[in-house]
């Protein structure tokens, strides 16, 4: 698991109060996953990595692995 | 940042196993995300699971009602309030329901019965989504009428609710301002927007229970953006987390004032705190104060302290120094802004500071939880934190230009409004010290009381005494028959209602006027009930309460009433109040308190050493 993915797993676990998140965890399947948790996660990701994501691409990702790729791309562009 | 922030991990664990150290650990929360998460985890968690045994938190019901989504305000506020010794119950209503929540008598907000209602306002509350930059007059009219509607809703809510209502001034976002291209018109837009904010601020004068936080001013030197356009467009979030934090700090200070948790005394160190350098080493002429940098920074701290003193905060010196030298410098140094009479007491010795603070507090009859300790020394600050956890410690370290703001910024002294008594408080405490010296010179307590020349005046509340009576109700902990019986709005209702009576008690003696030091809440009728009486600890042990009781009996007899009732709810700190009830008999449990009764004819007259006076009554308010 990449460092970015590992950090994202931590963040998702914290935001959703769910200890069993992996690279393959799908957001839709998580308990407590509502649009406000998605926005809390967004704030934490942007804070942690110093990136700014396009909401359209952010909401298009469906699992942690895809999110990691999105953050990786944003980091490369910044 | 990681998911296992130590503080949030402890809160999570406290859900399973109580951990009394968590409360103190909340002070270690710094970052936004961890504070927000802590606040979310604290929701629904009983304070007894995270606080040491005997922790007395004051319950407070706070509603957050906004014209936009402010997700983080409630959790951030919860952390601030729990830290401040408050046990909050927080209601957050759905977004953009402000007007219906305020005006519907059966709304979620109305049923919640808040002590404090935070009405979060953003530009969309006043501005239409679409507006014509060539028709600024029309924009002013429209926004003005929205504001009038808001003011009406606040007034309507105020007529039904006893709690404080908190509004805020509103910043106009950059994107709205930039829609106007002409500089002349931009200036006009700026003026019309400021007019709206001035009107908002003016609402605070319409009712004592309406308060307006000047958020627009707070944001002028705030380093984060006002809003994140993505989140505003996607989820109607009008404030960035940075703005939410700024707002919460101000709102929490106001909640502390409502809950009577404001600090009342600053205990300040001298060397490298009140002035630069060490008096004992550098001598009176070597210390840095006044003139140019860095002396002017210490002067600025002194100005801040004098400003606090003028508004009712007591100042005391606690310094490791030679007392004679300190006395000489305070009295004669030409550059000092503080004067000896600004301090209610000056303690200079080589003893432990925690012991000195204990003594200062005991001599003033205050609680340790009313103290702010200001010192530059890590050692002294750590000692006081360790030995006196109730004391708020401000360590002034580093560049002295930051010292004044370090004392003022946390809003520890916030009150809802200052009163005439606040302005005279230091002199009142100094007179008290002279009185004690005089008492020590008398051969017996009876001689002392007889020679004081005590005059006690009991009168109905008027517009001058009312703010002070409200304040007494909120601030008095020891002589308080029925703690928390009356909120601010409740007290105002007592003053206005013909079936109830609100009395203020003024005390004067040969050393001067104490001002209004006691308040009585009465329900009148066939048998009168004292629903609460409070008295400032400044006038304890002089029989004032018995003079007040004698006055009540006279009033009752004059109205043909034969019995007085009093409600007493014993707590941990208000045993002093039970002395009033000598001669009363317990009757029953009533509204959560014990009801006592005494026949008017059995109430003894005022003590012989007190002259009971009546004042010409001014108009009923």
ipTM comes to 0.91
Q: Exposed (0-12), middle (13-18) or buried (19+): which is B606, by Cβ within 10 Å? A: buried
* CATH architecture for the domain at B265-408: 3-Layer(aba) Sandwich (3.40)
Cβ separation B1–A48 shorter than 8 A? yes
CATH 3.40.50.1110, domain B58-258, yes or no: yes
What local confidence, expressed as pLDDT, does residue B616 receive? Answer: 61
Cβ A13–B3 below 8 Å, yes or no?
yes
Q: How many structural domains comprise chain A?
A: 1
- B383-414 per-residue burial string, b: 16 or more CB within 10 A, e: under 16: bbbeebeebbbbbbeeebeebbebbbebebbb
Residue with tokens 């989140």: B231
Interatomic CA distance for residues A66 and A60, integer angstroms: 9
The residue behind tokens 């009585």 is: B520
Does the fold of domain B420-424+438-613 match that of domain B265-408? no
- CATH number at A64 reads 1.10.1200.10
Closest CA to B167 of B178, B153, B183, B180: B153
Residues of chain A with pLDDT under 50: none
The closest alpha carbon to B548, from B576, B580, B516, B523, belongs to: B580
DSSP bridge pairs for B65: B119
Q: What torsion, rounded to 10 degrees, do the Cα atoms B329, B332, B338, B339 define? A: 110
Interface test with B, best of A8, A11, A36, A39 (most B CBs within 10 A): A39
Q: Taking CB atoms and an 8 Å cutoff, what residues of chain B touch A11?
A: 3
A21 contact residues in B (CB cutoff 8 A): none
Q: Which domain, by its residues, includes A56?
A: 3-77
Do residues B564 and B552 touch, judged by C-beta distance below 8 A?
Answer: yes
Q: Is the dihedral of CA B350, B352, B353, B358 positive or negative?
A: negative
Interstrand relation of B314-320 and B343-349 (parallel, antiparallel or unpaired): parallel
Q: Is the Cβ of A71 closer than 8 Å to some Cβ of chain B?
A: no
Q: Please check whether residue B537 is in contact with residue B592, taking contact to mean a CB–CB distance below 8 angstroms.
A: no
* DSSP-derived secondary structure letter, B390: T
Write out residues 21-50 of A within 8 Å (CB-CB) of B. 35-36, 39-40, 43-44, 47-48
Spell out where B327-478 has E strands.
Answer: 343-349, 371-375, 392-395, 454-460
Q: Residue B82 in contact with residue B24, Cβ under 8 Å? A: no
Give the integer Cα–Cα distance in Å for B521 and B543: 19
What is the pLDDT at residue B617? 52
> B29 CB contacts (<8 Å, ≥6 apart)?
B7, B35, B38, B79
- Residue B224, pLDDT score: 84
Model pLDDT, residue B621: 42
Residues 6 or more apart from B370 whose CB is under 8 A from it? B263, B264, B265, B361
Q: Which of B3, B71, B241 sits opposite A36 (nearest CB)?
A: B71
Point out the residue among A14, A36, A39 whose CB comes nearest to the CB of B37: A14
The reply to whether A18 touches chain B by the CB within 8 Å rule is no
Task: Identify the closest residue of chain A to B70 by CA–CA distance.
Answer: A36
Give the nearest partner residue to B235 out of A39, A47, A48, using CB atoms. Answer: A39
Nearest to B33 among A13, A35, A44 (CB): A44
Residues of chain B predicted below pLDDT 70? 1-4, 616-621
SS (H, E, C) B273-326: CCEECCHHHHCCCCCECCCCCCHHHHHHHHHHHHHHHHCCCEEEEEEECCHHHH
Distances (CA, A) of B385 to B52, B377, B382, B404: 15, 12, 5, 21
Structure pTM?
Answer: 0.81
Which chain B residue is nearest to residue A59, measuring alpha carbons? Answer: B234
Extended beta strands in B403-487, E state: 454-460, 479-480
Interface contact B235-A35, CB threshold 8 A: yes
- Greatest CA span in chain A, whole angstroms? 33
B118, burial (CB in 10 Å: exposed 0-12, middle 13-18, buried 19+): buried
Q: Which of B589, B605, B607, B587 is nearest to B597 (CA)?
A: B587
Pairing state between β B512-523 and B528-535: antiparallel
Q: Tokens for B440?
A: 């020590």
- In a mutagenesis test of the A interface, which of B12, B224, B230 is the best target, namely the one with the most A β-carbons within 10 Å? B230
Q: Which of A13, A39, A47 sits opposite B231 (nearest CB)?
A: A39
Return the bridge partners of B347, or none. Answer: B318
* B34 touches A at CB < 8 Å: no
Phi, psi of A63, deg, nearest 5: -140, 175
**Class of domain B420-424+438-613 (CATH, top level):** alpha beta
- Tell me whether A13 touches chain B (CB under 8 Å): yes
Q: How many helices (H) and strands (E) does chain A have?
A: 4, 0
Q: Is the minimum CB–CB distance between A75 and chain B shorter than 8 Å?
A: no
A27, A16 in Cβ contact below 8 A? Answer: no
User: What is the distance between the alpha carbons of residues B618 and B277, in angstroms, rounded to a whole number?
Assistant: 55
Instruction: Please give the helix or strand (H or E) that residue B575 lies within, else none.
Output: none
For chain B, what are the domain ranges? 1-56, 58-258, 265-408, 420-424+438-613
Per CB-CB distance under 8 Å, the chain A contacts of B243 are none
Give dist(CA B166, CA B214) in Å, integer. Answer: 11
Task: Label residues B432-444 b or e (16+ Cβ within 10 Å = b).
Answer: beebeeeeeeeee
Q: Is residue B285 exposed (0-12), middle (13-18) or buried (19+ Cβ within 10 Å)?
A: exposed
Contact B305, B269 (CB under 8 A): no
The CA angle A17-A19-A21, to the nearest 5 degrees, is 105
Stated length of chain A: 78
* Residue ranges of B 152-191 with Cβ closer than 8 A to chain A: none
Residues in chain B within 8 Å Cβ distance of A7: 2
What is the DSSP annotation of B521-567? EEE-SSSEEEEEEEE-GGGTTSSHHHHHHHHHHHHHHHTT--EEEEE
> Nearest CA of chain A to the CA of B233: how many Å?
10
Summarised one tens digit per residue, pLDDT across range B528-545 is 999 999 998 888 888 899
| Beta strands B86-92; B116-120: pairing state | unpaired
The predicted pLDDT at position B218 comes to: 95
């Amino acid at each position: 698991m990449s460092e970015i993915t590992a950090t994202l797993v931590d963040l998702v676990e914290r935001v959703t109060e769910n200890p069993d998140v992996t690279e393959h965890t799908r957001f839709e399947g998580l308990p407590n996953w509502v649009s406000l948790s998605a926005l809390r996660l967004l704030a934490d990701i942007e804070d942690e990595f110093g990136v700014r994501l396009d909401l359209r691409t952010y909401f298009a990702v469906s699992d942690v692995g895809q999110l990691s790729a999105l953050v990786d791309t944003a980091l490369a562009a910044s | 940042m990681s998911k296992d922030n130590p503080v949030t991990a402890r809160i999570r664990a406290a859900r399973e196993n109580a951990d009394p150290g968590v409360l103190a650990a909340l002070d270690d929360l710094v970052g936004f995300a961890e504070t927000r998460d802590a606040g979310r985890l604290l929701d629904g968690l009983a304070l007894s699971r995270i606080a040491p045994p005997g922790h007395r938190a004051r319950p407070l019901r706070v509603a957050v009602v906004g014209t936009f989504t402010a997700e983080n305000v409630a959790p951030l506020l919860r952390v601030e309030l729990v830290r401040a010794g408050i046990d909050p119950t927080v209601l957050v209503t759905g977004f953009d329901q402000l007007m219906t929540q305020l005006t519907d008598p059966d709304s979620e907000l109305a049923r919640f019965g808040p002590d404090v209602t935070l009405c979060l306002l953003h530009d969309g509350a006043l501005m239409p989504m679409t507006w014509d930059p060539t028709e600024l007059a029309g924009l002013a009219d429209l926004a003005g009428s929205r504001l009038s509607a808001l003011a009406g809703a606040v007034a309507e809510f105020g007529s039904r609710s006893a709690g404080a209502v908190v509004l805020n001034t509103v910043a106009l976002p950059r994107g709205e301002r930039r829609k106007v291209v002409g500089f002349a018109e931009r200036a006009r837009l700026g003026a019309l927007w400021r007019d709206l904010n001035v009107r908002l601020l003016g609402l605070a004068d319409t009712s004592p229970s309406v308060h307006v936080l000047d958020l627009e001013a707070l944001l002028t030197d705030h380093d984060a953006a006002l809003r994140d356009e993505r989140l505003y467009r996607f989820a109607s979030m009008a404030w960035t987390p940075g703005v939410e934090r700024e707002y919460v700090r101000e709102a929490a200070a106001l909640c502390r004032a409502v809950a009577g948790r404001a600090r009342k005394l600053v205990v300040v160190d001298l060397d490298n705190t009140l002035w630069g350098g060490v008096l004992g080493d550098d001598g009176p002429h070597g210390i840095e104060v006044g003139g140019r940098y860095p002396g002017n920074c210490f002067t600025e701290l002194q100005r801040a302290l004098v400003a606090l003193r003028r508004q009712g905060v007591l100042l005391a010196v606690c310094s490791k120094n030679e007392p004679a030298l300190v006395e000489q410098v305070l009295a004669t140094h030409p550059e000092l802004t503080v004067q000896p009479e600004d301090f209610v007491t000056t303690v200079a010795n080589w003893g432990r500071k925690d012991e000195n603070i204990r003594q200062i507090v005991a001599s003033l009859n205050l609680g340790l939880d009313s103290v702010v300790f200001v010192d530059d020394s890590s050692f002294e600050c750590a000692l006081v934190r360790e030995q006196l956890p109730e004391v708020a410690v401000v360590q002034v370290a580093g560049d002295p230009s930051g010292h004044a703001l370090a004392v003022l910024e946390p809003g520890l002294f916030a009150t809802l409004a200052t009163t005439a008594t606040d302005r005279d408080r230091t002199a009142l405490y100094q007179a008290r010290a002279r009185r004690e010296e005089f008492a020590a010179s008398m051969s017996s307590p009876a001689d002392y009381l007889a020679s004081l020349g005590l005059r006690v005046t009991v009168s109905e509340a008027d517009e001058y005494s009312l703010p002070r009576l409200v304040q007494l109700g909120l601030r008095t902990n020891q002589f308080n028959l029925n703690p928390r019986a009356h909120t601010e709005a409740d007290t105002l209702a007592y003053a206005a209602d013909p079936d109830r009576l609100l009395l203020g008690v003024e005390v004067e003696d040969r050393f001067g006027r104490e001002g209004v030091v006691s308040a009585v809440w009465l329900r009148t009728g066939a048998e009168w009930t004292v629903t609460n009486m409070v008295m400032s600890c400044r006038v304890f042990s002089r029989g004032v309460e018995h003079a007040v009781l004698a006055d009540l009996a006279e009033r009752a007899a004059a109205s043909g009433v034969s019995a007085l009732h009093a409600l007493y709810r014993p707590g941990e700190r208000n045993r002093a109040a039970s002395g009033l009830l000598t001669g009363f008999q317990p009757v029953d449990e009533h509204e959560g308190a014990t009801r006592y009764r005494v026949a008017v004819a059995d109430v003894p007259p005022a003590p012989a050493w007190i002259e009971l006076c009546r004042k010409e009554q001014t108009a009923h308010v």
